[in-house]
Amino acid sequence: MVVRPYNEELKYLEKISDCCWRIKKEFQPNMKVEGCFYVNSRLERLMLEELKNSCRPGAVGGFLPGVKQIANVAALPGIVGRSIGLPDIHSGYGFAIGNMAAFDMNDPTSIVSPGGVGFDINCGVRLLRTNLFEKDVQPVKEQLAQSLFDHIPVGVGSKGIIPMNAHDLEEALEMGMDWSLREGYVWAEDKEHCEEYGRMLNADPSKVSLRAKKRGLPQLGTLGAGNHYAEIQIVDEIYDKWSASKMGIEEKGQVCVMIHSGSRGFGHQVATDALVQMEKAMKRDQIETNDRQLACARINSQEGQDYLKAMAAAANFAWVNRSSMTFLTRQAFAKMFTTTPDDLDMHVIYDVSHNIAKVENHIVNGREKQLLVHRKGSTRAFPPHHPLIPVDYQLTGQPVLVGGTMGTCSYVLTGTEKGMNETFGSTCHGAGRALSRAKSRRNLDYKDVLEKLEEMGIAIRVASPKLVMEEAPESYKDVTDVVDTCHIAGISKKCIKLRPIAVIKG
């Protein structure tokens, strides 16, 4: 790694618009394309501070600063366009979280990298709407939160309650939400409102280790821990009335449920297994990277193909997982209001994947190309009229669900043509951590955090209360800054703001 004083480093960065910076090719060795990142003034400070800290002599630690990581990704074989950092970017394993990069499928040297997807494959967000309003839910908020907490298994060591055996799992891995539909856990129209219709067709469970399946089986239908949550949210603001109405959101005060979860231990193990395999493939194919954590394999190699098929199985697992929790959520609401989920109009507005690699067609330098698009902590945001978005959203653009953190707002955005051109149809995914877990724990007390949430009128049910400091709003970037940056940059458009009134987490 090139180590220079901070002032020197800054020479390789250039602000090209109000909220976009360019990373020049000489910033890191072997950069094949430039990098860029989107930030407003507040996020810019965080970004540059991180770089500055890493330039201090004697700095040691696990991960490089986000901007270095963007640049190292720009040095991977086969990358096209730019390596792009979204406003919620923060450093992660190999790729920064909030980094997207696209690789040319027709270039035989192009790579696929599990670090560009993340350990939690197809981690994503699903939003359900209801026809309830805040006044209906406020009086029973605590009971409803408790009921959701009782219905959805959360936290470390929790086990799923959806009956599953090894044979069912094989089918679920292959079929994704088609399995959930066949088993009666979801509605047919739910599938319409998912990326890939809730099923990646190239999934091949035979490419998945027994170990991953054993980790996955007991965890299907569980929320997990860390930053995963289920929230009851209220529509707080509607910026785009017409698009919102296409999503079934008519008025402020309407109640929604957001579920943020992924592929659990199954996906974690698929990623771990692939990283081990790819270390070997890299030596064999002499793939050079700037950072050992950027383990990768050629897309066309055995390891590359195996990973894509196993990753697709993990993606299907995640959809079945979110679908199972959708089922449990509908049950909890139906019981509380002694009616049916149908009568509560509990439709899936949309379901996004923010840790995934997908084959997509994009225009690069005026020509259509087939690309493998890695989005790690980044959400697909396709514009209106794109063939891969459902009929209901053909005129609005794809809904993009941006989850906040415990106690803060969440947003629904829509995809734009500008985003399609500038960022391969990608935008932010959430708040993005600002403080390390260590700092959060040093500076915050869990009782204060819980009290503050209570003051804000938010009911909370959490499996490990002592860890809530790590997920406290203070530990994250301001999600409003993140979303505003995307909106101003034009890579997606604000549609709805949601505020939580109850949080369930691990």
Partner 1 sequence: MNVSTTVGHNEDNNNKFVNKLLGFSVADLDHTADVQLHAWGSSLQEAFEQCGMAMFGYMTDLDYVSIEHCFQLEAKGDDIEGLLFHFLDELLFLFSAEPFLICKKLEITKFDLENYEIECRCYGEPFEIGKHPQGTEVKAITYSAMQIVQEPERSHYEVFVIIDI
Is 311 annotated as a binding-site member? no
Is 316 annotated as a binding-site member? no
Indicate whether 90 belongs to the interface with partner 1 (CB under 8 A): yes
Nearer to partner 1, 156 or 359 (CB): 156
Would the CA dihedral through 480, 232, 264, 125 be positive or negative? negative
Name the residue among 335, 372, 348, 75 with its Cα closest to residue 190. Answer: 348
Q: Could you tell me if 145 and 153 are in contact, meaning their C-beta atoms sit under 8 angstroms apart?
A: no
Please identify which residue in 75, 177, 244, 435 interacts with partner 1, judged by CB under 8 A.
435
Nearer to partner 1, 309 or 441 (CB): 441
Is 229 annotated as a binding-site member? yes
Structure tokens at 277: 């395999």
Is 497 annotated as a binding-site member? no
Number of Cβ within 10 Å of residue 485's Cβ equals: 25
Listed ranges 102-110, 163-171, 212-220, 302-310: which one lies at the site for partner 1 (CB under 8 A): 212-220
Nearer to partner 1, 66 or 419 (CB): 66
Would the CA dihedral through 463, 467, 473, 476 be positive or negative? negative
Question: Which residues carry out catalysis?
Answer: 429
Listed ranges 13-21, 59-67, 191-199, 417-425: which one lies at the site for partner 1 (CB under 8 A): 59-67
Q: How far is the CB of 346 from partner 1 (least distance, A)?
A: 28
Name the residue among 365, 407, 360 with its Cα closest to residue 388. Answer: 360
Residue 165, classified by CB atoms within 10 Å of its CB into exposed (0-12), middle (13-18) or buried (19+), is exposed
CA distance 477 to 90: 10
Helices (H) and strands (E) in the chain, counts: 16, 19
Is 505 annotated as a binding-site member? yes
CA distance 336 to 430: 30
CA distance 207 to 416: 36
Nearer to partner 1, 91 or 378 (CB): 91
Indicate whether 463 belongs to the interface with partner 1 (CB under 8 A): yes
CA distance 36 to 80: 13
Indicate whether 442 belongs to the interface with partner 1 (CB under 8 A): yes
Q: Could you tell me if 359 and 371 are in contact, meaning their C-beta atoms sit under 8 angstroms apart?
A: yes
Question: Which alpha helices (H) appear in 286-399, and where do they start and end?
Answer: 302-336
Q: What is the amino acid identity at position 271? A: A
Please identify which residue in 24, 25, 42, 439 interacts with partner 1, judged by CB under 8 A.
439
Q: How far is the CB of 91 from partner 1 (least distance, A)?
A: 6
Q: Which of residues 334-363 bind partner 1 (CB under 8 A)?
A: none
Q: Which of residues 256-275 bind partner 1 (CB under 8 A)?
A: 265, 268-269, 271-272
Helical pair 479-489 and 41-55, crossing angle rounded to 10 deg: 110
Is 290 annotated as a binding-site member? no
Number of Cβ within 10 Å of residue 217's Cβ equals: 18
Is 120 annotated as a binding-site member? yes
The count of residues interacting with partner 1 (CB under 8 A) is 45
Q: How far is the CB of 165 from partner 1 (least distance, A)?
A: 13
- Residues that constitute the known binding site: 120, 123, 227-231, 260, 354-355, 403-406, 410, 429-432, 505
Binding residues for Mn(2+): 120, 123, 228, 260, 354
Q: Which residues of the chain form contacts with partner 1 (CB under 8 A)?
A: 58, 60-63, 90-93, 97, 119-120, 155-158, 211, 214-215, 217-219, 224-226, 265, 268-269, 271-272, 292-293, 433-439, 441-442, 463-464, 467, 506
